Every structure is written in structure tokens, then in C-alpha cells.
Chains A and B, each alone.
Chain A
């Protein structure tokens, strides 16, 4: 069936290092969303990408949507301890695109 996959599952970095998580869909997506979940919290929306090849930035976070609209990435420059959490990508799957389907997430741990 249609899936959204994310790698890596875990990432340990030293504070100040960069971090990247990758998301791949088995099917072309109309858009992709990114969420962050802090430990013990609930997912919180970060951004949505819609256009092929789109790149968006939020301070130290850079989001990209692939040309084929089947993959995406989130890059964090110079990580901080406040970046700790799990980052999820999500896309609308299903025949009608009504199933908001999440990737498995990448858990980021930052050593101070």
C-alpha cells in the first residue's frame, strides 16, 4: 500500500552540528507537511511544501520538496538543545488524498 518512510530513525548530534532527516513516499504527493513532537508532547505543525522543488526556510531549519514530489528533507543548521524531539513528515495518501499519513519519524538527540 501507499507509504511514507523516513530515515534515519534516530540521530545523536553534538550541539552545533548539523542534522538532516529524509522522507520518501511510495507515491507522488500533492504536498508534504513537517511536524515536531517534543518528548512527552504532541505533534506540532512546522511547515507545508506544495510546489515541485520548493525550498522553505525557518531560521536554522531548511525544508525541501523533491522535483518529483515524492521525497522531502528537513535540515537543521547548528543544532541547539531546544531542537530535541521527533520530526515527522506527513502526506495526504489514499485514493482521494484524505488520509494524512505520517512517516515513522526521526528522533533527534542533542548533546550539550
Chain B
């Protein structure tokens, strides 16, 4: 039972490079989320999805794009990485947002932009 799997676990990018973070869940969850975590800033919601083919902006969406082509996958893209995007990125999934259910988190992706 894998739960929520994120790839890669670590990545170093040069400013201006692009990359895609992959999140996969095997729990048949409808909702999926991408968060970034910076020291002293808690978890900030970047984008989220309430179902296959749908995405929505969270608190800090600028500089990121997402896609949910398959229910089990949620991709986070950085088109032109900036040092301000150095962070730990967490993906999470749940059956529904806040309806007697819990969010399951992946192990995180540590991204450094130099």
C-alpha cells in the first residue's frame, strides 16, 4: 500500500530551468493538493484539484502550473524556476476536503534553485 508517492525526492535546478513534480496516489481519492513549506511559513497551498480534469488556484499559485489528467496523478510544473521557489513541496490527497476524512501526505520533494 504505497499511499501518496512523490517523485523526485530531491532536485537542484538552475534559475530559468523547468521541471515537473509528480504526485501519485493509489487510494482513489478525489481531492489532491500541492503545498510548499518554507521555514517559519507553515504549509501554503499552491494549487488543488477536486477531481480528474479540474484544477484551482490556492494561496500562492504564481509561478506554478498543475494538471490532473488522471485521477491518481497530480503534476506540479515550474516553467522557469526562480530562487524564491526553493522549498520543500508536499503533495496530499483526500476523499473530500474536510468531510470526515483526512489528508494523506507524500514524503516531500526538496527543491533547490540556484
Interface residues of A (CB under 8 A from B): 1, 6, 9, 29-31, 33, 35, 42-45, 48, 50, 88, 90-92, 96-105
Contacts and interface: CB of A to CB of B under 8 A. Distances in A.
Contacts, number: 74
Given A30-B98, A91-B98, A99-B97, A45 B103 contact: yes
Given A42-B105, A42-B106, A98-B56, A48 B42 contact: no
Interface stretch (B33-41, B65-73, B75-83): B33-41
15 contacts: A33-B98, A33-B102, A35-B103, A42-B90, A48-B98, A48-B101, A92-B97, A98-B50, A99-B48, A99-B58, A99-B97, A100-B97, A102-B45, A104-B40, A105-B42
Contacts of A100: 31, 33, 45, 48, 92, 94, 97-98, 103
B43 A102 contact: yes
Contacts of A1: 59
A105 B104 CA distance: 17
Nearest to B31: A98
Interface of B: 31, 33, 35, 40-45, 48, 50, 56, 58-59, 90, 92, 94, 97-108
